[in-house]
Amino acid sequence: MAYYISNIARSKGDPKVLRSGPSSLGGADRMAKALGWFSIGLGIAELVAPERFTRALGMEGKEALVRTYGIRELGHGIVSLSPDKHIGLWSRVAGDGLDIATLMTAMRHDNPKRDNVKFALAAVLGVTLLDIIGAQGVTARHSRPRGRPRSYRDRTGFPQGVQAARGAAKDFQVPPDMRAAPTLAAVSDRAPQERARPH
Amino acid sequence: MRALVWHGKEDIRCDTVTDPEIEQPRDAIVKVTSCAICGSDLHLFHNFIPAMLPGDVMGHEMMGEVVEVGSEARGKLKKGDRVVVPFTIICGECDQCKRGNFSVCQTTNRKKYLADKVFGHATAGLFGYTHLTGGYPGGQAEYLRVPFADATHIKVPDGIPDEQVLFLGDIFPTGWQAAVQCDIQPTDTVAIWGCGPVGQMAIRSAILLGAKQVVAIDHLPERLEMAEAGGAITINFDEESVVERLNELTGGEGPEKCIDAIGMEAHVSPSMPDTVYDRTKQMLGAESDRPHVLREMIYVCRPAGVISIPGVYGGLVDKIPMGQLMNKGLTIRTGQTHVNRWTDDLLRRIEEGQIDPSFVITHTVSLDEGPEMYKVFRDKQDSCIKVVLKP
């Protein structure tokens, strides 16, 4: 859709999209993107309104911890949206473990919001499952398979062989604007007073 | 027509788009017969270089047959001509073009106002490479409009396969210029970081230009093997210290000439802590590029040596050791490639059999398979080094 707006930046004769085709983004990539944005949304909410979380879960007094988790979520989100998305998603899985451990501390019998904690735990477990599926998916999609790479031993690029190629372009004259400092011989050939002029 | 279109980060699609049209009298339309995915396309794929817009057609390494010619391009081009299209769009008339500095042509960037703001002064228009360089649609497509076509082309004779001449449009002259601007002497050791397509071309160029020894640095076995086949001594940075090995190979003096064929996306590894630092800052938007290679080159290069940077950088880098650079009196040469400055000579070398650039091609697929090949190339799967697309 965005390309209809960006067509403003194009001239009359430039190609414009008529119909979209297959994308380089796979299902796992799209999932990583969605989970990355989810992390950022959750992180902002935890940073901005931690008391809402602590009140709902019967964890009053833990606002600083929720804020810290908010910063952590933002980190997960940024990395999940980057080309290193597998790191972002696996870090989300680790973060889910931390969230589950923290929620377990609120499962005590004297917590009047125990039902909310149960609901939150179920939600985190569900998201953890998605994170694991996503992390495995992007890791599989983007990793370099193990095993022997193809052999390029014969790809010299020189039809007459490497030895014949060494210095074959001696006839080439380096343009004056690309010359480096003079060669040792060029300096040595000059008179001594020309060679060493004090500053 | 079909074309590979950028829709967002890591989202390239093979779309149906409208055909390009002649807009200016100097334009031509080329029916693309072969095009390639370039390493620098991956910077756009990752959205590390700003100013891409959804709907932009990718690709800046392409060739084909001229099918339509604007009225003012007719003297130089005609229907049926076989041309390689250089990635830099040039007018051939401005001061910079007259000096051979084609990649900073003063005329062809149609979004000069944007580039002036970001770069200080605009550089040449480029195909398929963000709106900072004109927002020109690229050549990973069935047809391409070539602006300033009377100057922006390299005619190639029939009888040479596409695969041998296609890379005249980018990676071959880029590797060549990287070596040329080192001003290689017969006593020089040339160290080249990165054995991707540009690194491979730089290795072959340094060999042709007569370097005493060429050292290639990477960590992917298949790329190191290809580098070795081309005459280089190789260093696998996963297995040994680059600095120690380079010093060992140069009697403790360091290489005279260093080439960065990596650019802004250096490999990240916990064994190189600065790369983790850069990646973290890059994710947080506090740094756009990962300049590990620059730091290592500046450290290991012999005093009064030359550092040549064909690798693409997009914006801001951090922790560059200016003290080492200044005190060692190093010369840095960089820039996008002045493609047409070198192509007559390089075409002759191909025709004479000095070099056959097709050695670098590892995958040839149809345009429809392009989106998947972006992923394969980025993830270095299936020993992929260079992808050629056949529209």
Domain membership of residue A98 as a residue range:
25-140
Q: What is the pLDDT of residue B170?
A: 97
Structural domain count, chain A: 1
| CB-CB contact of A129 with A35 (8 Å) | no
Nearest to A148 by CA among B222, B379, B223: B222
- Asked if residue A162 belongs to a domain, the reply is no
Asked if A9 has any chain B CB less than 8 Å from its own CB, the reply is yes
| CB-CB contact of B363 with A13 (8 Å) | no
- Asked if residue A148 belongs to a domain, the reply is no
The topology under which CATH files domain B2-170+337-390 is Quinone Oxidoreductase; Chain A, domain 1 (3.90.180)
At A97, is the pLDDT very low, low, confident or very high (cuts 50, 70, 90)?
Answer: very high
Question: Which of A13, A152, A180 is opposite residue B182, by nearest beta carbon?
Answer: A180
Q: What is the pLDDT of residue B284?
A: 85
According to DSSP, the residues that pair with B68 across neighbouring strands are B29
What's the CA gap between A128 and B58, in Å, rounded? Answer: 37
What's the CA gap between A114 and A103, in Å, rounded? Answer: 10
At B296, is the pLDDT very low, low, confident or very high (cuts 50, 70, 90)?
Answer: very high
| CB-CB contact of A181 with A174 (8 Å) | no
- Asked if residue A12 belongs to a domain, the reply is no
| Residue numbers in B near A31 (CB within 8 A) | none
Is residue A197's pLDDT more than 60?
A: no
* C-alpha torsion angle, residues B130, B132, B134, B135 (rounded to 10): 30
Is residue B374's pLDDT more than 80?
A: yes
Question: Which of B12, B23, B349 is opposite residue A13, by nearest beta carbon?
Answer: B23
Please provide residue B290's backbone torsions phi and psi, each rounded to the nearest 5 degrees.
-115, 100
pLDDT single digits (tens) A133-189: 999 999 999 998 888 899 999 999 999 999 999 999 999 999 999 998 665 555 555
Question: Which of A13, A83, A168 is opposite residue B22, by nearest beta carbon?
Answer: A13
CATH number, domain B172-334: 3.40.50.720
Nearest-Cα distance to chain A for B347, in Å, is 13
| CB-CB contact of B309 with B294 (8 Å) | yes
pLDDT single digits (tens) B22-32: 999 999 999 99
| Residue numbers in A near B226 (CB within 8 A) | 152, 155
Residues A152, B11: C-beta atoms closer than 8 Å: no
- Asked if residue A193 belongs to a domain, the reply is no
Q: What is the pLDDT of residue A12?
A: 87
Give ipTM to 2 decimals. Answer: 0.93
Asked if B36 has any chain A CB less than 8 Å from its own CB, the reply is no
Q: What is the pLDDT of residue B283?
A: 86
| CB-CB contact of B318 with B291 (8 Å) | yes
* Half-sphere exposure for B388 (CA within 13 Å, toward CB): 22
| Residue numbers in A near B355 (CB within 8 A) | 157-159, 165
For B:137-156, CB contacts with A below 8 A are 137, 141, 145
According to DSSP, the residues that pair with B388 across neighbouring strands are B36, B364
Q: Return the structure tokens found at A135.
A: 């992390």
What's the CA gap between A158 and B230, in Å, rounded? Answer: 7
Is residue B260's pLDDT more than 60?
A: yes
Q: What is the pLDDT of residue B383?
A: 96
| Residue numbers in A near B131 (CB within 8 A) | 9
Asked if B375 has any chain A CB less than 8 Å from its own CB, the reply is yes
- Asked if residue A110 belongs to a domain, the reply is yes
Domain boundaries, chain B: 2-170+337-390, 172-334
Residues A22, B14: C-beta atoms closer than 8 Å: yes
- Asked if residue A16 belongs to a domain, the reply is no
Q: What is the pLDDT of residue A188?
A: 58
- Asked if residue A73 belongs to a domain, the reply is yes
pLDDT single digits (tens) B146-193: 999 999 999 999 999 999 999 999 999 999 999 999 999 999 999 999
CA-nearest residue to A177 within chain B is B181
Contacts across the A-B interface (CB distance below 8 Å)? 220
Residues B19, A15: C-beta atoms closer than 8 Å: yes
Q: What is the pLDDT of residue A41?
A: 98
Asked if A87 has any chain B CB less than 8 Å from its own CB, the reply is no
